[in-house]
Amino acid sequence: MRITFPPDFIWGVAASAYQIEGAWNEDGKGPSIWDTFSHIPGKVVKNQNGDIAIDHYHRWQEDLDLMRSLNVKSYRFSIAWTRILPAGRGAVNSPGLDFYDRLVDGCLARGIDPVPCLFHYDLPQALQDDGGGWKNRDTAYRFADYARVVTERLSDRVKIIMTHNEPWVTAIAGYLMGIHAPGGKNPYNGLKAAHHVMLSHGLAAEAIRASALKPVKVGITLNLSPFYPATDSSRDIQAAEDAHAMINRVALDPLLLGTTPLMENWKTRWLATTFIKEGDLEKIKNLDLLGVNYYSRNVMKFSLKNVPLFSEEVKPVGNEYSEMWEIYPPGMFTLLKRIWDDYYIPAQAKGIRMPELMVTENGVPVPDTLDADGHVHDERRIRYLRDHLAQVHKATQAGVDIKGYYVWSFADNFEWNLGYGPRFGLIHVDYESLKRTIKDSGNWYSNVIIENGFDTGG
């Protein structure tokens, strides 16, 4: 069967600064919490770090040429805050801004829409040292200042500015689970940081709108997952709904409704009232574009662990797993449809204009190798992308208005605490020579873009 996407569907690729740029201390860049964290022995698999990464900072022209050759329409990248403001605040570092200026021009010259994201986990170390990073409400205000500096420079050319990538991961993986920088392990700090990141979105949205040279859309990207109960017991159903509230709704509700589940639930209200201030939620509801990152689903059961969630993830059996997660394409449809049904349909019924919706990340790690013929035959990734795109298409058929889709990632890169093990790219990178090779999936995706669809084979 042939499936065709809506006209003007945006076909993109995504990446982030720390994962690809390298040049960690060049041209006046200040250290970020990821520079610090990855240099601490034991924090990242094999003690790897992003000092060089895939050297995108120096090879960006070659990388944009490769994207062009794949017919990519849009490139979602992130800006390293510490290239722009090395200490997180204060003096602007012009060479840092110049880099992103050239990158934006380079995209435009190749017919690629540049979509910058202001924050993808790499908080200035200076802001972590002084006040505790996202635990500190003041960081949200510093983020808005940084947003203004970038907007003043780039908004004559970019049409979208994304504020954050996956606020939940920034806060929870970084301040509660301890697996990401800065490595904090405190539930209260995790929730507090999560709120401050969301608040910073609202403050930055105001700053972007006030300083834009031309109108730009303000976007955000969320890590969302459909939550399924492990059994049909009422306790497991409740556990899945609580996890949905704490991971999905905690970001979606403030952005789309101006409310938060943290205040509704007795398990979290007593904590939330200590850091959510009057007027915060109204500020956060300021959005033109909602990006959904989908990789896998979560199956939950009731448990006394993970206070205040009272739920625990179980590993479902029966489906194939990648190096990181269960492969579950139907979850893409379930998730998009639920967002649409829970937020968009009720709002539209009241005549409220809602943000555009896009899939801003989807992809799979595959242990790719260069074959003797010089190619990477990553058939597993082609199947993953095909099956997930089929679910995106199914959602569009069910009335969900999805504007675009971005593959994570354009090239293999540094996968945070897992280092260079998992390879997510459409382009293979030899980490010794830094040579790039388009994988079979890259050529497949390029064809999908040209044809605005594909054959499902069924």
* Active site residues per annotation: 166, 361
Q: Nearer Cβ to ligand FCB, position 114 or 229? A: 114
Q: Least Å distance between CB 365 and ligand FCB?
A: 7
Q: Nearer Cβ to ligand FCB, position 56 or 89? A: 56
Q: Nearer Cβ to ligand FCB, position 292 or 357? A: 292
Q: Nearer Cβ to ligand FCB, position 59 or 180? A: 180
Q: Least Å distance between CB 182 and ligand FCB?
A: 17
Q: How many helices (H) and strands (E) does the chain have?
A: 19, 15
Dihedral (C-alpha) 78, 80, 81, 83: value to the nearest 10 degrees?
Answer: -140
- For residue 458, the number of C-alpha atoms closer than 13 Å in the C-beta half-sphere is 6
Packed helices 379-397 and 440-451: angle between N→C axes, nearest 10 degrees: 30
Q: For residue 319, which phi and psi values (nearest 5 degrees)?
A: -110, 160
Q: Least Å distance between CB 298 and ligand FCB?
A: 13
3-state secondary structure (DSSP) of residue 182: coil
Q: For residue 7, which phi and psi values (nearest 5 degrees)?
A: -60, 150
Residue found by looking up tokens 């009731």 in the block: 302
Which two three-digit tokens encode residue 283?
């500020």
- CA end-to-end span of the chain: 6
DSSP letter (8 states) at residue 43: S
Total count of residues recorded for the chain: 458
Q: Nearer Cβ to ligand FCB, position 44 or 230? A: 44
Q: Nearer Cβ to ligand FCB, position 115 or 272? A: 115
What long-range pairs does 208-212 form, CB within 8 A, spacing at least 24?
Answer: 208/147, 208/148, 208/151, 208/155, 208/161, 208/163, 209/286, 210/148, 211/148, 211/151, 211/152, 211/155, 212/151, 212/155
What b/e string do you get for 407-431 counting C-beta neighbours within 10 Å, with b at 16 or more?
Answer: bbbbbbbbbbbbbbebbbbbbbbee
Rounded distance, CA 63 to CA 106, Å?
10
Q: Least Å distance between CB 415 and ligand FCB?
A: 6
Q: Nearer Cβ to ligand FCB, position 201 or 283? A: 201
106: closest CA among 159, 164, 53, 157? Answer: 157
The site for ligand FCB (CB under 6 A) is made up of: 16, 19, 165-166, 169, 223, 293, 361, 408, 415-416, 424
Q: Least Å distance between CB 16 and ligand FCB?
A: 5
Which two three-digit tokens encode residue 31?
């250290």
Give the DSSP H or E segment for 387: helix 379-397
Q: Least Å distance between CB 412 and ligand FCB?
A: 11
Q: Least Å distance between CB 167 and ligand FCB?
A: 11
